[in-house]
Amino acid sequence: QGGNNAGHTVVVDGKEYDFHLFPSGIINQKAISFIEKHRKSKSQCQSLTNQHSCNPTFLHLLTGLKDWEKRLIISDRAHIVFDFHQAVDGLQEVQRQAQEGKNIGTTKKGIGPTYSSKAARTGLRICDLLSDFDEFSSRFKNLAQQYKSMFPTLEIDIEGQLKKLKGYAEKIRPMVRDGVYFMYEALHGSPKKILVEGANAALLDIDFGTYPFVTSSNCTVGGVCTGLGVPPQHVGDVYGVVKAYTTRVGIGAFPTEQINEIGDLLQSRGHEWGVTTGRKRRCGWLDLVILKYAHMINGFTALALTKLDILDVLDEIKIGVAYKLGGKRIPYFP
């Protein structure tokens, strides 16, 4: 999902879990979880997660699960989110608010700045952390200095951070594998069930979402290939998960939004607040235009419709069926 900015609430046997970095398959004691670059995955026999950015501190926050360390594999190619990435995320939001009068509404988890480092080819990966630590330290200092020059108010405890990172390196070393070979073996070895579990919605995709109010990763089905290194021919069924109404955290276009008692009812009955930020989700009627648009990009073979029961108390249910542009219906998402 691009990092720990997304949140999944999972209830198993009456116990509630909030996942930010791990695939929900980590609960299954028969599953192996794999953190890679952009995406997550899980299955009954095999659980494979793929993420762009791995914040090592979150590896120590998973409680209530037995022997999870033995079921977790981290790709050597996963990029690392540093504390200064998170600090810069917050500073950029303040800048946007001051300069444009509006921000994007990020979770301030450092995902956007980490992707920026990745695209600029100055990012650091798990393989860098686990190899020559002197070389890693030198590159870390250079990266930190680059951000300090861009943001003069940014304070970074470089030596303190490096000391922590060296400790994390030894803790995660037993979990790290070559991610591409791991996936190749999973696909071509003894038969396994592999279910890729994506986070964030299709309309938050960096390329196909409601830009600029999007996340920093490709959270559509193509992320399976670019994130996990899975060849396209291995992608089988694609399940679209959609609520019976539409929700959104943060600002951005929302044509069917109900800023009234209907929206309040959907929010309260549906317990609609962000798992990561705690912010209330904006709520409105189901928008079939964006659902069809998501289908154009992802090619759903099935839809999983959720939260239909939230609408039980309503005498009338409305659905957005078309958009008009210049007074005329349009067959596409503009």
Number of Cβ atoms within 10 Å of the Cβ of 299: 12
Cis peptide preceding 212, ω within 30 of 0: yes
* Residue-wise burial string across 98-131, b where 16 or more C-beta atoms lie within 10 A, e elsewhere: eeeeebbbbbbbbbbbbbbbbeeeebbbbebbbe
Measured between alpha carbons, how far is 298 from 220 in angstroms, rounded to an integer?
6
Residue corresponding to tokens 């977790």 = 72
**HSE of 222 in the Cβ direction (CA atoms, 13 Å)?**
11
Alpha helices in 101-188 (DSSP H): 111-119, 126-130, 133-150, 158-172, 179-188
The active-site residue out of 30, 108, 118, 243 is: 118
Which amino acid type is present at position 66?
K
- How many residues appear in the chain? 334
| Catalytic (active site) residue 118 | yes
Whether the CA torsion 107, 108, 114, 119 is positive or negative: it is positive
Dihedral angle, C-alpha 257, 262, 264, 269, nearest 10 °: -110
Dihedral angle, C-alpha 130, 132, 133, 139, nearest 10 °: -100
Of the candidates 331, 6, 64, the residue with the CA atom closest to the CA atom of residue 200? 6
Measured between alpha carbons, how far is 39 from 28 in angstroms, rounded to an integer?
18
Give me the active site residues, please: 118
